Amino acid sequence: MTKLWLSGLFFLSFACGAPEVDLLDQAPPTLREEPAGFEEAVVTRVVDGDTIEVEVIARVPG
C-alpha cells in the first residue's frame, strides 16, 4: 500500500509542475540559419492543446 501511495505522489508531482516548452523538438529545418538570439519566457496561461500565452522575462540579442 505504501508503494502505491508513493507512486501516486510521484506522478502527482509531475502533473502539478509548471508547463515547459522546448521548441528545439519542433524546430524548422532552417534553424541553423536563424539568428543566435533567444527569449526566455514563463507560461502564464494554457489556452488549449496547441496555444499558450507567455510572459517574456529575458531577451538575448543575436
pTM to 2 decimal places:
0.46
Among 16, 17, 18, 13, smallest CA distance to 43 is for 18
Eight-state DSSP code of residue 23: G
Grid cell in block for residue 20: 515547459
State residue 56's pLDDT score.
Answer: 92
Q: Are 42 and 54 in contact (CB under 8 A)?
A: yes
d(C-alpha 53, C-alpha 19), whole Å? 11
Over 70: is that where the pLDDT of 39 sits?
yes
pLDDT tens, residue by residue, 5-33: 666 656 666 666 666 666 666 777 887 88
Grid cell in block for residue 14: 509531475
Strands 38-48 and 51-60: antiparallel
